[in-house]
């Protein structure tokens, strides 16, 4: 039977609701919080520290903090431009990556500062396959790129064994999306030699045994290739953490495995905004709103809508509002804000209907919501120890714990 862990992707120290959700989860008995140095540019780790301040040491000792390193984004990327890190993979303009020894030591130092801790339970290499993806793009042959991947992992394991020896971490492991790829995929990260690398690393540092303890990977109703890796991990005495229980990828498309209710106030806010735009100067916005309403069911998943919102809708709204006076803008902005909140709920509802229809065979033997079915699939797996779930509201924490089997 799997346990739930609190996933802090998109958790910010600037959002009081996120802090309250963390506190609610701790009070509900959560025993693991998963985070990463790049989540909200360190904000997730700072949020954990803020949430834990109000609890006794006895409570804190029951909670394992799992953090990750590897990404060079945000402030790390700015620092890299001034004083470059070692062995950096420049994957895209805003996403670099490194698992070099010097980077590990510096990143752990910053993580511990943000968490206000002297040590953490587990430190994971975050998606080391960025090297593989970059090497594939550069045309490096498979044997060469795997040899270099293993070399980099060995050096990282040495650094992590050193951190175990110093007491700043209790164990380490790897979080990799590539563990869940088919074994014949170029992006697949072979895992069966990892413990041999860990043994060699521990010997080189002088530790009695290796401290490689954990793997993390995506597994859900639609992505099941990772179950093979999970079985290997359990046979090898490792712990298995599963992420993305609801955000699934299938045939190069993304799906949210959750049901969402239809907004009860959407049409009220749509009509209010249409009336505010029913004039010559805002006719283009009026037309766009009608198009949005007519196409709310056509988004593949919520991520598609959010990309469209920031790349197309908001820039268009800004352009349309340039032609009206400031006094009128304030009134229209109120209507826009209310409309966009409810439009997102409608998109979520339409996406969930489409997902349930497309995968009806998966859900026909499960009488609950899609999220209940998705969690049931995972909690009944003996080779999964923890399911990481993002819970950004106290109400969501309560909802998730009510679903626990």
Averaged over 398-402, what is the pLDDT? 86
Averaged over 44-50, what is the pLDDT? 98
Q: Which contacts of 201-209 are long-range, i.e. CB under 8 A and separated by 24 or more positions?
A: 201/154, 201/157, 201/158, 201/160, 201/161, 202/157, 202/161, 204/158, 204/161, 205/158, 205/161, 205/162, 205/165, 206/165, 207/161, 207/164, 207/165
CA–CA gap between residue 31 and residue 266 (Å, rounded): 39
Structure tokens at 121: 């339970």
What pLDDT, on the 0 to 100 scale, is given for residue 367?
84
What pLDDT, on the 0 to 100 scale, is given for residue 236?
97
251 lies in the same domain as 314:
no
Averaged over 82-105, what is the pLDDT? 94
185 lies in the same domain as 100:
yes
Averaged over 65-93, what is the pLDDT? 94
355 lies in the same domain as 392:
no
76 lies in the same domain as 142:
yes
> What is the average pLDDT score of the chain?
94
CA–CA gap between residue 204 and residue 200 (Å, rounded): 6
Averaged over 367-380, what is the pLDDT? 92
Structure tokens at 362: 């998966």
102 lies in the same domain as 248:
yes
Instruction: Return the CATH number at 244.
Output: 3.20.20.100
118 lies in the same domain as 231:
yes
CA–CA gap between residue 24 and residue 51 (Å, rounded): 9
pLDDT tens, position by position, 174-206 = 999 999 999 999 999 999 999 999 999 999 999
CA–CA gap between residue 42 and residue 72 (Å, rounded): 11
**Candidate from 89-93, 238-242, 286-290, 382-386 with smallest mean pLDDT:** 89-93
Query: Is the CB of residue 40 less than 8 Å from the CB of residue 48?
Result: no
pLDDT tens, position by position, 244-286 = 999 999 998 999 999 999 999 999 999 999 999 888 889 999 9
99 lies in the same domain as 212:
yes
User: With left for phi above 0 and alpha for psi between -120 and 50, is residue 350 left, alpha or beta?
Assistant: alpha
What pLDDT, on the 0 to 100 scale, is given for residue 2?
60
188 lies in the same domain as 329:
no
CA angle, 313 as apex, 307 and 318 as ends, to 5°?
130
56 lies in the same domain as 166:
yes
What is the span of the domain harbouring residue 276? 266-360
pLDDT tens, position by position, 126-182 = 999 999 999 999 999 999 999 999 999 999 999 999 999 999 999 999 999 999 999
The residue length of the chain stands at 405
pLDDT confidence tier of residue 328, bands split at 50, 70 and 90? confident
Averaged over 108-114, what is the pLDDT? 98
Note the pTM of the prediction, 2 decimals: 0.91
Residue 386 has pLDDT above 80, yes or no: yes
pLDDT confidence tier of residue 329, bands split at 50, 70 and 90? confident
Averaged over 305-334, what is the pLDDT? 88
pLDDT tens, position by position, 223-250 = 999 999 999 999 999 999 999 999 999 9
Task: Provide the number of structural domains found in the chain.
Answer: 2
Averaged over 347-370, what is the pLDDT? 92
CA–CA gap between residue 24 and residue 400 (Å, rounded): 12
80 lies in the same domain as 182:
yes
* Cα 276 to Cα 102, 173, 216, 321, 332, distances in angstroms: 58, 56, 50, 12, 7
240 lies in the same domain as 289:
no
Residue 383 has pLDDT above 50, yes or no: yes
324 lies in the same domain as 374:
no
């Amino acid at each position: 039977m799997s346990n739930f862990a609190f996933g802090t992707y998109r958790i910010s120290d600037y959002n009081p609701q996120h802090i309250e959700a963390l506190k609610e989860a701790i009070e509900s008995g959560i025993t693991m919080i998963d985070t990463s140095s790049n989540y909200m540019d360190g904000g997730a780790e700072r949020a954990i520290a803020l949430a834990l301040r109000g609890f006794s040491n006895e409570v804190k000792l029951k909670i394992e903090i799992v953090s990750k390193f590897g990404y060079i984004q945000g402030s790390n990327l700015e620092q890299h431009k001034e004083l470059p890190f070692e062995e950096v993979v420049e994957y895209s303009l805003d996403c670099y990556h490194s698992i070099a020894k010097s980077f590990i030591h510096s990143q752990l130092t910053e993580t511990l500062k943000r968490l206000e801790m002297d040590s953490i339970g587990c430190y994971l290499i975050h998606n080391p396959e960025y090297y593989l993806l970059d090497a594939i793009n550069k045309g490096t042959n498979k044997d060469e790129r795997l040899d270099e991947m293993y070399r980099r992992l060995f050096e990282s394991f040495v650094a992590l064994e050193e951190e175990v020896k110093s007491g700043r971490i209790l164990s380490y492991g790897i979080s990799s999306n590539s563990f869940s790829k088919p074994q014949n995929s170029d992006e697949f990260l072979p895992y069966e030699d990892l413990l041999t690398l860990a043994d060699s690393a521990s010997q080189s540092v002088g530790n009695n045994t290796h401290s490689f303890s954990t793997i993390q990977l995506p597994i859900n109703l639609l992505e099941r290739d990772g179950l093979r890796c999970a079985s290997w991990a359990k046979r090898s005495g490792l712990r298995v953490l599963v992420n993305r229980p609801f955000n699934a990828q299938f045939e190069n498309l993304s799906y949210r495995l959750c049901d969402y209710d239809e907004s009860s106030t959407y049409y009220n806010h749509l009509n209010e905004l249409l009336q505010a735009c029913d004039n010559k100067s805002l006719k283009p916005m009026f037309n766009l709103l009608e198009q949005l309403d007519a196409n709310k069911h056509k988004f593949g998943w919520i991520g598609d809508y959010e990309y469209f919102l920031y790349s197309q809708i908001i820039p268009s709204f800004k352009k349309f509002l340039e032609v009206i006076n400031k006094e009128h803008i304030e009134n229209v902005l109120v209507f826009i804000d209310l409309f966009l909140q409810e439009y997102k709920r409608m998109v979520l509802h339409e996406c969930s209907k489409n997902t349930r229809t497309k995968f009806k065979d998966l859900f026909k033997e499960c009488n609950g919501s899609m999220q209940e079915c998705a969690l049931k699939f995972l909690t009944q797996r003996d080779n999964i120890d923890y399911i990481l779930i993002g819970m950004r509201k106290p109400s969501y924490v309560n909802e998730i714990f009510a679903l626990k089997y």
